[in-house]
Amino acid sequence: MHRGLLARRDMVKQSVPMSATFSERFGWPQVLAGILLLLFLGQCSWLVAREYVTIGGLTGDELMRIQTGLTQWRGQAVAGTQSNKDTFYTPLARDRTRDDPFDPNHSPLWYLIASTPAAIFRVSPSSWSWLWLARAPYIVFGTLLGASLWYVSRRLYGNAGGFIALGLYCFSPGAIRSSSLWISSPDIGAVWGTFGAVFTAIAVSHTLYAPREVVLWNWRRTILLGVALTLAVGAHFGLVIVVPLLLAYMLYLAPERKTAASVILGTACVIAFCLLFASYFFHPRIFGEGLRHARFLDANLLALKMPGAYKQIGLEILASGPVLAILAPVALATYAAWPRARYFGNTAPLIAAALFVLLRILSPHDAGSVFSLAAVVFLFVFVAGIAADLLETRRRELFSSVIAGLVAANALWNLISLARVAR
């Protein structure tokens, strides 16, 4: 059977993507992946260090976000809500009005994550340590997303696919900027949660034909799926759109176990709901008001007629690596023309990427969008899958040279761009 070929039932064994691969045998693939992730960490650290030199501290929005979270940690209010009639806790000016002080896009979890290091380590906001503590959670999320991306792609497409996806990610300006918060919104945690939710749901679906009570047997994956959904939706309410996508994947993969799949996903949603309630510190009235003011779908259908909306998403995708201008169209053309490439392992990330591209087009007025970053991450998986398929053809040597050259050129371009930051 073609390596990586995923049919509805006969599928490559999946494991939980958000968990680390400590249980696997440690060999050269893990060493090489670790080196790439260290390079990713180094690039993020470089940007944080340059920001301290050039700016000297946090921006106003970031500082307000941390202070808002600290207010909740101290028990004085619930972040992103109006906990009393005189105080407003939404940091972004575009989300704050006198009539609606609730943050329509983020739960308190968004603020609590940002402020957790500052709550644990008491340092001066003007110190060098404060900036690094503020960026630490997102650098960690970015690194874990890279590890998850490599793990999933490697299990789907083999070593070649895993390293192509990781190579594109570790030298992606969009991923690096989002992880280091260099002129970027803190969306990397939400994307990691979304990525983990999608592939954890797929992993759960693979086990539904096991001759055992799979609903109870999958309790660890179910909890992990709930945590992933909490991270995604808690960091951006609009990512609740991923739940119908998960249900569609699970029902497609296990058509004879629809009840079991629905129960598992429903249980994960209940877990996510409870954890989201916990981020409001178990204040039912404030929790209810927060959900009532939440903007779960911010879409403008008129944007479909706006050429600028399509140009914008195109530029944002290219900002995550100019090599995508070549690899993405080639991958799409190959998928359309080559039946061998049209299997679930390639189709699933393509559908997810297309969904987030559409959501970005429908919300063109956001200065920075979590949807474009999510689309790019799933696009990396799709491109890696098509590339791995091409590497199994008779022209393996030609495709290997071209793909390696493009990925290396993309990495070199990104490193040169980082060096220019110093000037």
Full pLDDT tens readout for the chain, 423 residues: 333 334 433 333 343 444 443 445 678 999 999 999 999 999 999 999 887 666 556 667 888 899 899 999 998 889 988 753 344 444 444 444 445 678 999 999 999 999 999 899 877 776 778 888 889 999 999 999 999 999 999 999 999 999 999 999 999 999 999 999 988 889 999 999 999 999 999 999 988 876 666 666 778 899 999 999 999 999 999 999 999 999 999 999 999 889 889 999 999 999 999 999 999 999 999 999 999 999 888 888 888 889 988 999 999 999 999 999 999 999 999 999 999 999 999 999 999 999 999 999 998 877 568 999 999 999 999 999 999 999 999 999 999 999 999 999 999 999 998 888 756
Residues facing residue 87 across a β-bridge? 84
Q: Show the beta-strand stretches assigned E in 297-416.
A: none
Residue 348 lies in a domain: yes
Domain count, the chain: 1
- What's the confidence (pLDDT) of residue 270? 96
Residue 256 lies in a domain: no
Rounded CA gap, 11 and 343, in Å?
A: 10
CB atoms closer than 10 angstroms to residue 68: 25
Q: Which domain holds residue 179?
A: 1-16+145-185+298-423
Q: Which of these, 227, 229, 245, lies nearest to 358 by C-alpha position? A: 245
Residue 351 lies in a domain: yes
Q: What angle is formed at CA 74 by the lines to CA 69 and CA 78, rounded to 5 degrees?
A: 50
And the tokens for 378?
């799933």
Sign for the pseudo-dihedral over CA of 311, 302, 351, 375: positive
3-state secondary structure of 87: strand
Sole residue written with tokens 């650290």: 45
Residue 382 lies in a domain: yes
pTM for the model stands at 0.89
**Whether the Cβ atoms of residue 200 and residue 152 lie closer than 8 Å to each other:** no
Residues 6+ apart with CB under 8 A from 138: 178, 179, 180, 181, 186, 188, 189
Helices (H), 207-283: 214-217, 219-235, 242-253, 258-279
Single-letter code of the amino acid located at 380: F
Residue 56 lies in a domain: no
Single-letter code of the amino acid located at 301: L
Rounded CA gap, 181 and 187, in Å?
A: 9
Sole residue written with tokens 């280091």: 180
Single-letter code of the amino acid located at 422: A
Maximum Cα interatomic distance, the chain, rounded to a whole number of Å = 70
- What's the confidence (pLDDT) of residue 8? 35
Question: Could you tell me the CA-to-CA distances from 261 to 226, 250, 256, 266, 398 in Å, in that order?
Answer: 14, 6, 10, 8, 43
Residue 308 lies in a domain: yes
Rounded CA gap, 221 and 201, in Å?
A: 8
Residue 244 lies in a domain: no
Residue 302 lies in a domain: yes
- What's the confidence (pLDDT) of residue 372? 94
Q: What angle is formed at CA 285 by the lines to CA 235 and CA 83, rounded to 5 degrees?
A: 70
